[in-house]
Structure 1
Amino acid sequence: MKTTTLRNLDLNLLHVFSVLMEEQSVSKAAERLFIGQPGLSGALRRLRNALGDELFVRAGRGLQPTARALAIAPEIAEALSSIERAVRTPDAFDPSKWRGEFRIGMCDNFEVAFFGALTARIRELAPHARVVAIASTKRDSVQLLEQGAYDLSVAVHENPASWHLCETLFDQRFVCLYDGRELDLPSPLSIEAYAQAQHIIVSSLGDDATELEHSLRAAGVTRTVVASVSRHASIAPLLLSVPAIATVPEITALCLAPLYGLEIADAPFELPTEPISMLYRRTDQMDGRSIWFRNTVKEIMSGTLNN
Structure 2
Amino acid sequence: MNFRTLDLNLLRVFDQVMAEQNLTRAAERLAMTQPAVSNALKRLREALGDELVVRTAFGVKPTPKAEALWPQVRAALDRLREAIDPPEFDPQHTQAGFRLAMADATAATLLPLLTSDLERRGAQVSIRILPLTTRDPRRLLEHGEVDFALGYFPVAVAALSSQGDTARLRHHRLWDDEYVCVMRRNHPLAQAELTLDAFCTAHHLLVSFSGRPHGFVDEALAALNRSRRIVLTVNQFFTAGRVVTQADLLTVLPRRFVPATGMADALVIKPLPIALQGIHVEVLWHQRHDHDPAHRWMRERILDAAAQRAREPVA
What TM-score bracket applies, with the shorter chain setting the length? 0.7 to 0.9
Offset, 1:190: 3.4
Give yes or no for contact 2:102–2:150 (8 Å, CA) kept in 1: yes
Residue number among 215, 223, 228 corresponding to 1:218 in the alignment? 223
Question: What is the CA deviation profile of residues 194-221 of structure 1, one whole-angstrom value per residue up to 9, with x for unaligned ones?
Answer: 3443322213455532122111232354
C-alpha distance in 1 between matches for 2:70 and 2:232: 71
Where 2:269 maps in the other structure, the secondary structure is strand
Where 2:114 maps in the other structure, the secondary structure is helix
In angstroms, what is the RMSD of aligned CA positions?
3.7
C-alpha distance in 1 between matches for 2:213 and 2:232: 10
- 1:92 corresponds in structure 2 to 88
C-alpha distance in 2 between matches for 1:166 and 1:274: 15
Counterparts of 1:61-140 in structure 2 under 5 Å? 64-65=57-58, 69-72=60-63, 75=67, 82=75, 84-89=77-82, 90-139=86-135
Where 1:185 maps in the other structure, the secondary structure is coil
Question: What is the CA deviation profile of residues 216-236 of structure 1, one whole-angstrom value per residue up to 9, with x for unaligned ones?
Answer: 232354433333322211122
C-alpha distance in 1 between matches for 2:53 and 2:108: 72
C-alpha distance in 2 between matches for 1:302 and 1:226: 37
Identity %: 18
Give yes or no for contact 1:200–1:245 (8 Å, CA) kept in 2: yes
Give yes or no for contact 1:257–1:264 (8 Å, CA) kept in 2: no
Residue number among 227, 238, 242 corresponding to 2:243 in the alignment? 238
Where 1:280 maps in the other structure, the secondary structure is strand
- 2:11 corresponds in structure 1 to 11
Q: 1:276 to 1:65 in 2, by over 3 A?
A: same
Offset, 1:188: 5.3
Matched, 1:293 2:298: yes
Q: 1:210 to 1:56 in 2, by over 3 A?
A: same
Residue number among 146, 149, 155 corresponding to 1:153 in the alignment? 149
Aligned residue-pair number? 290
Where 1:234 maps in the other structure, the secondary structure is helix
Question: What is the CA deviation profile of residues 85-127 of structure 1, one whole-angstrom value per residue up to 9, with x for unaligned ones?
Answer: 3332321111112223221001122122223332332333354
C-alpha distance in 2 between matches for 1:215 and 1:16: 65
Residue number among 279, 283, 286 corresponding to 2:284 in the alignment? 279
Offset, 1:193: 3.8
Question: What is the CA deviation profile of residues 150-200 of structure 1, one whole-angstrom value per residue up to 9, with x for unaligned ones?
Answer: 211113332467332233334442111112233343465433443443322
5+ residue gaps, structure 1? 58-63
C-alpha distance in 2 between matches for 1:30 and 1:88: 20
C-alpha distance in 1 between matches for 2:102 and 2:54: 62
Letter in 1 for 2:296: I
Residue number among 168, 175, 183 corresponding to 2:173 in the alignment? 168
C-alpha distance in 1 between matches for 2:6 and 2:213: 66
Give yes or no for contact 2:205–2:249 (8 Å, CA) kept in 1: yes
- 2:182 corresponds in structure 1 to 177
Q: 1:101 to 1:126 in 2, by over 3 A?
A: farther
5+ residue gaps, structure 2? 161-166
Give yes or no for contact 1:95–1:126 (8 Å, CA) kept in 2: yes
Letter in 2 for 1:208: P
Give yes or no for contact 1:100–1:128 (8 Å, CA) kept in 2: yes
Give yes or no for contact 2:113–2:305 (8 Å, CA) kept in 1: yes
Letter in 2 for 1:11: L
Computing the radius of gyration from Cα coordinates, the structure with the larger value is 1
C-alpha distance in 1 between matches for 2:199 and 2:98: 42
Give yes or no for contact 1:165–1:279 (8 Å, CA) kept in 2: yes
Q: 1:254 to 1:190 in 2, by over 3 A?
A: farther
Q: 1:194 to 1:56 in 2, by over 3 A?
A: same
Where 2:230 maps in the other structure, the secondary structure is strand
Offset, 1:280: 1.3
Offset, 1:16: 7.1
**Bigger Cα displacement from structure 2, 206-215 vs 119-128:** 119-128
Q: When the two structures are superposed, what TM-score results if normalisation uses the length of structure 2?
A: 0.74
